[in-house]
A and B are shown apart, each in its own frame.
Chain A
Amino acid sequence: MIPSSYYLILSAVLFTIGVIGVLVRRNAIVIFMCIEMMLNAVNLTFITFSRYLNSLDGQIFVFLVMTVAAAEVAVGLAIVVSIFRLRETTDVEEINLMKW
């Protein structure tokens, strides 16, 4: 069995890449994809721990996380679509009415 830390470090790297993606990209949909990537990284962590601690709780948790992610994607993309209808753009920098 390979040490758990390998999986965990992989998970951390994926998470970090997701974070960078969220902050760097301007297309709302791509930002959303990066958020999904972050969620997956966390899922990997849960599964790792479930394996290495001989427990099924981690897997249940991942199951529920997936459920939530699905619902979230549906609603989130619906929001993106309606904003696009309004503003004709998916660039997050254009959506800045709450400025000082």
Chain B
Amino acid sequence: MELALFVILAVIAVIAAAGVVVSKKAATSALFLLLNFCTLAGLYILLNAQFIAAAQVIIYAGAIVVLFLFVVMLLSPGKEEGQDRKPYAKISAVFLAVLMLVEVGYVLVTGVLGGMSGEYTPEKIAEVGNVQAIGQVLFTDFLLPFELASVLLLVGIVGAVVLAKKEL
């Protein structure tokens, strides 16, 4: 059961990703991206990270993709891209990327994935619910990063406003 779900979701994710890269129009790429995010949210649920899945949908699919679409619409969406003068860059990029994939794949398949086993087994999490479990850890062990993240968001807002102004 899990495997079937995984396979379906994985295939759709990969196709969507390919669609993002390949589509001619920017708007189409954005929509494919949306599809990719949603399949990933499904995969998160499979991995017992419900909160994250919800956050994925809200933040990524709901805000970021929307933002992308806004900008795409704003900036002359119809223009086609020109032809590259020198195709060797494209070919070498693809080649290198595939090479990297092969390397990583080799490690993943042959290596032993270690790491300390933690204490939060799925059963333990299920006792309090994923959200509460995350909340507990977030506000105790990871309080500082949490606060810094809020500062970061503030900086992001200010920066975005400043950069997008017509006159500084």
C-alpha spacing A14/B64, complex, angstroms:
18
C-alpha spacing A36/B63, complex, angstroms:
13
Which residues of B sit under 8 angstroms from A20, Cβ to Cβ?
Answer: 21, 93-94, 97
Q: Is the CB of B36 within 8 A of A40?
A: yes
* B26 CB → nearest A CB, Å: 5
Q: Is the interface of A mostly helix, strand, loop or mixed?
A: helix
Q: Is the CB of B108 within 8 A of A73?
A: no
Which residues of A sit under 8 angstroms from B56, Cβ to Cβ?
Answer: 43, 66
* A93 CB → nearest B CB, Å: 8
What 0/1 pattern do residues 45 to 71 of A give for CB contact below 8 A with B? Answer: 001111111111101101110111111
Knowing A2-B2, A59-B51, the reply to whether A53 touches B75 (Cβ < 8 A) is no
C-alpha spacing A65/B37, complex, angstroms:
15
Instruction: Determine whether A98 belongs to the interface, using a CB cutoff of 8 Å to chain B.
Output: no
Instruction: Determine whether A75 belongs to the interface, using a CB cutoff of 8 Å to chain B.
Output: yes
* B11 CB → nearest A CB, Å: 10
* B50 CB → nearest A CB, Å: 10
Which residues of B sit under 8 angstroms from A40, Cβ to Cβ?
Answer: 36-37, 40, 60
Q: Which residue of B lies closest to A48 (CB)?
A: B47
* A87 CB → nearest B CB, Å: 11
Q: Which residue of A lies closest to B149 (CB)?
A: A67
* A2 CB → nearest B CB, Å: 5
Chain A positions near chain B (C-beta within 8 angstroms): 1-2, 4-10, 12-21, 23-27, 29-30, 32-34, 36-37, 40, 43-44, 47-57, 59-60, 62-64, 66-75, 77-82, 84-85, 89-91, 93
9 further A-B pairs in the complex, CB-CB below 8 A; given A60-B137, A90-B75: A13-B101, A23-B97, A26-B84, A29-B30, A29-B68, A47-B52, A57-B137, A62-B49, A75-B160
